[in-house]
Amino acid sequence: MARLDSLPNELLTEIFRHVRTTDPASLKLFLVCRSTHRSAKVALYEHVSLLWKLNSQCSVLRFLQLSSANVRLVRSLRLEMHSTVLTCFMNGMKVAHKHVNDICGLIASLSTLHTFSVNMGGKGDPSSLLPASIIVRLLEALLQSVVNLELDTETLDARLEGYWNSRRQDPGPSGISKDANLCSAISLLIPRLHTLRLRITCICPEIFSSLFQDPNNADQEKPTSQLRQASIKLALPLERRTGRTTICDCRAATTPISSPSQVYQAPIHLNDIFAPLLRFQMNHAFPLLQSFLIFAGSGHVVTVSDVVNKATTVYPFTTTHHNGLTSRKPLPGYSYMIWDHEGLPWFGEVEDVWSAIEEGLDLGWREEAGVRLAPTTSVPRGRMHRLNCKGLRSIQKAHAVNGNTIQGLGEDAQVKVSYVDEGGKS
């Protein structure tokens, strides 16, 4: 039997990658052995997750102290922000902005970084703020090597930013622009990105501005993008959803306002995002595109707009208790209901339902030892979106748990699929 230290470095690295996914803490033990140190170090620093806090022992500051040789091993980076950092942003505290400078310097030094993720991990405080201007600075620090991007702000991007900017005493450091447009920053990355996942509150057509061709410059080469897979989830807080499929215009998010609710009243329609994408697709701006989905929830439906198939799928979606579908409040796990293509209802919490929707094409970014990794499998072109109901509860199980109290399911509820032209019209 071969000894561990007699194996080639390539095989050791694969072994240690498996150790990282199953027991990441034990991986550090192999760093003390000369024969395994190099392979263990590659596996340890290849994919990194950093929790950003405002203390001297936070993982971000410790990572800044690494040698340049270790930093050059990083290929995937996830940045998760602690609630204290978000509170400091909301109150305009300079200590948080000092950390931003350090983190931007770190990102700019990651010469082999391929995947960058800002993901709150389900821990975002709804009363906190993640300013769009901060995300813009992080994106501007990314090098050309980054081809996979995930921004999951859990509705905290630009949320109430105009409201708080108009009230705080400190206007913020001069290096932070209140007029920073997140969509413009993302647009500059789109031509080189392979994978994109956005879960944001505010958006505007500027997100595609890098693909527009100047009509006055006939010699300009047609702009294209390297995108293979992309998804945009327009995530409004539940209490802000209305019967219209309207979304917040990020160009208005930094305008001083008199009440927090005003930030959600910008007149941007879902089709204002979907229609330009269809035109870009028709003009071959995405020659490698396999899937591009836009998810939006409004009223009692969830809309999935499919750029590749030029189709829109509308799923009936509702709560079970507040809409009179139960005679008593359902148990946890049965608060929401959505119908599939066969007309069958499925139950879960709001996170379960959204997971079933977002994973309908198996596009999900996976989480491995706290790190967010981009999809590695391709999607057959022309494959239509369908719910992935593995994490939901069936009607039979709902009746069994709730004592046959689920009633009035709405037999007429059905999934509606419509095909649209390049102008976004059915």
- DSSP element (H, E) containing 349: none
Structural domain includes residue 425: no
Q: Do β-strands 336-339 and 345-348 pair in parallel, antiparallel, or remain unpaired?
A: antiparallel
Question: 256 with 211: CB under 8 angstroms?
Answer: no
59/63 Cα distance (integer angstroms): 6
Instruction: Please tell me whether residues 24 and 64 are part of one structural domain.
Output: no
Selection from 96, 236, 253, 260 nearest residue 182 by Cα:
253
Beta bridge partner(s), residue 247: 268
Instruction: Please tell me whether residues 40 and 71 are part of one structural domain.
Output: no
138/117 Cα distance (integer angstroms): 10
Helix (H, G, I), strand (E, B) or coil at 2: coil
Structural domain includes residue 254: yes
Residuewise pLDDT in 10s, the chain (426 residues): 466 666 777 777 777 777 767 776 666 666 667 767 677 777 778 888 888 887 766 777 778 777 777 788 899 999 988 888 888 877 777 777 788 888 898 899 999 999 999 988 766 666 677 778 888 899 999 999 999 999 988 767 654 444 344 444 344 443 444 456 788 899 999 999 999 999 887 787 888 889 987 777 777 788 999 999 999 887 654 334 444 444 556 655 444 444 444 444 444 677 888 888 999 998 899 999 999 999 887 768 888 999 999 999 999 888 776 444 544 555 666 778 888 888 888 888 888 888 888 877 656 677 777 788 888 777 777 778 888 888 888 877 666 655 545 554 555 578 888 887 655 565
Q: Residue 222 CB: number of other CB atoms within 10 A?
A: 9
Instruction: Please tell me whether residues 143 and 1 are part of one structural domain.
Output: no
User: How far is residue 6 from each of residues 12, 16, 17, measured CA to CA in Å?
Assistant: 9, 15, 18
Instruction: Please tell me whether residues 39 and 87 are part of one structural domain.
Output: no
Instruction: Please tell me whether residues 261 and 278 are part of one structural domain.
Output: yes
% the chain with pLDDT above 90? 18
Which residue range(s) make up the domain with 229?
A: 53-212+221-419
Question: 234 with 296: CB under 8 angstroms?
Answer: yes
Which amino acid is residue 146, in one-letter code? V
According to DSSP, residue 296 is labeled: E
364: which 2 tokens? 């999900």
pLDDT tens, 266-315? 446 778 888 889 999 988 999 999 999 998 877 688 889 999 999 999 99
Q: Dihedral sign for Cα 168, 169, 173, 175, please.
A: positive
pTM tops 0.85: no
Instruction: Please tell me whether residues 32 and 149 are part of one structural domain.
Output: no
**DSSP letters for 188-201:** HHTTT-SEEEEEES
Give residue for tokens 């800002």: 118
Structural domain includes residue 424: no
Q: Which residues contact 310 (CB under 8 A, 6 or more apart)?
A: 278, 281, 419, 420, 421, 422
Instruction: Please tell me whether residues 276 and 205 are part of one structural domain.
Output: yes
Instruction: Please tell me whether residues 111 and 165 are part of one structural domain.
Output: yes
Instruction: Please tell me whether residues 319 and 364 are part of one structural domain.
Output: yes
Instruction: Please tell me whether residues 18 and 135 are part of one structural domain.
Output: no
Instruction: Please tell me whether residues 143 and 4 are part of one structural domain.
Output: no
